[in-house]
Amino acid sequence: MSDTDQHATFDPSDFDIVPARTFDDLRVGEVFRAPSRTVTSAHASAFQAVSADNHPVHYDDEWAKAHGHPAPVVHGLQVLAFTAPGATLFPHVIGEVFVAFTGLSCQFHAEVHAGDTLYSQITLTQLIPDGDKGTVVADVTVHNHRRELVLSGQHEYVLKR
């Protein structure tokens, strides 16, 4: 096959990162991890601008220390964002069957500061079939480089079957 023929047969819509699976191919207990990421003060500053949360605990070293924090605290919602399904391979694994992200809950267990490296993962805990769709319930966690659990919670997604 010539170089021209190879390029002519390329189809961007068929360029999957991993083979897509259906709801019925998923299994309780499967884990989808995100790459580790070190949060920087630039990340925290960018999130502050986007969220419009201007509380000094998030940017003022002296204010944070005067109120019992060793350093400014990374926004909790920014830490929660580390559990986004898109931060993992999960959306690639399920291909085009995603319908909706329908719920989430979380608890914050420890502060996160610039310089912390975070490790997040999604663990499938329930697969609830319902006609031509199904609900995926997943536990989510974020640990820091000190092995501390900084966030735990749950997500719910609806997928086509």
pLDDT per residue as tens digits for the range 59-89: 999 999 999 999 999 999 999 999 999 999 8
User: What is the pLDDT at residue 98?
Assistant: 94
User: What percentage of the chain has pLDDT greater than the value 70?
Assistant: 96
User: What is the pLDDT at residue 1?
Assistant: 58
φ/ψ region of 129 (left if φ > 0, alpha if ψ in -120 to 50, else beta) reads beta
User: What is the pLDDT at residue 142?
Assistant: 98
Domain ranges of the chain: 20-39+81-160
Q: Which fold has domain 20-39+81-160?
A: Thiol Ester Dehydrase; Chain A (3.10.129)
Given a cut of 80, whether residue 5 has pLDDT beyond it is no
State the pTM of this model: 0.88
